Structure 1
Amino acid sequence: MTEPQKRVILVTGPARSGKSEWAEILAQNSGKSVIYVATAQVDRTDSEWQHRIQQHQYRRPSDWLTLEVPVQLATTIGEAAETSCLLVDSLGTWVANLLDRDAASWENTIKELLQYINNCTCDAIFVAEETGWGVVPAYPSGREFRDRLGVLVRRVSAIADPVYLVTGGYVLNLSVLGDRLPS
Structure 2
Amino acid sequence: MSQIILVTGPTRSGKSEWAETLAHQAQKQVIYVATAQNYPEDADWQTRLQQHQQRRPADWQLREVPIALLDVLEAAQATECLLIDSLGTWITNCLELPDAEWSIVQQAFIQSLQNTEAQVILVAEETGWGVIPAHLAGRIFRDRLGRLTRAVAAIATATYLAVAGYAVNLAAVGVKIADEVPK
- Coarse TM-score class (shorter-chain normalised): over 0.9
TM-score where L is the length of structure 2 = 0.96
- Once residues 46 and 105 of structure 1 are traced to their aligned partners in structure 2, the CA distance between those partners, rounded to angstroms, is 30
Please say if residues 78 and 118 of structure 2, whose CA atoms lie closer than 8 Å, have aligned partners that are also in contact.
Answer: yes
> What RMSD in Å do the two structures reach over aligned CA positions?
0.7
Q: In the alignment, is residue 132 of structure 1 matched against residue 118 of structure 2?
A: no
Which residue identity lines up with residue 94 of structure 1 in the other structure? Answer: W
- Once residues 100 and 170 of structure 1 are traced to their aligned partners in structure 2, the CA distance between those partners, rounded to angstroms, is 34
Q: How does 1:23-42 map to 2 (within 5 A)?
A: 23-42=19-38
- Once residues 51 and 13 of structure 1 are traced to their aligned partners in structure 2, the CA distance between those partners, rounded to angstroms, is 20
Runs of 4+ in 1 over 3 A off after TM superposition: none
- Once residues 88 and 159 of structure 1 are traced to their aligned partners in structure 2, the CA distance between those partners, rounded to angstroms, is 16
| Match in the other structure for 2:67 | 71
Q: In the alignment, is residue 120 of structure 1 matched against residue 90 of structure 2?
A: no
What fraction of aligned residue pairs are identical, expressed as a percent?
Answer: 52
**1:120-161 deviation per Cα after TM superposition (whole angstroms, max 9, x unaligned):** 110000000000111111111001100000000000000111
Please say if residues 5 and 122 of structure 2, whose CA atoms lie closer than 8 Å, have aligned partners that are also in contact.
Answer: yes
Which residue identity lines up with residue 112 of structure 1 in the other structure? Answer: A
SS at match of 1:147: helix
What is the total number of aligned residue pairs between the two structures? Answer: 179
- Once residues 180 and 64 of structure 1 are traced to their aligned partners in structure 2, the CA distance between those partners, rounded to angstroms, is 34
Q: Any unmatched runs of 5+ in structure 2?
A: none
Q: Any unmatched runs of 5+ in structure 1?
A: none
Deviation of the 1:6 alpha carbon? 2.5
Please say if residues 2 and 114 of structure 2, whose CA atoms lie closer than 8 Å, have aligned partners that are also in contact.
Answer: no
SS at match of 1:48: helix
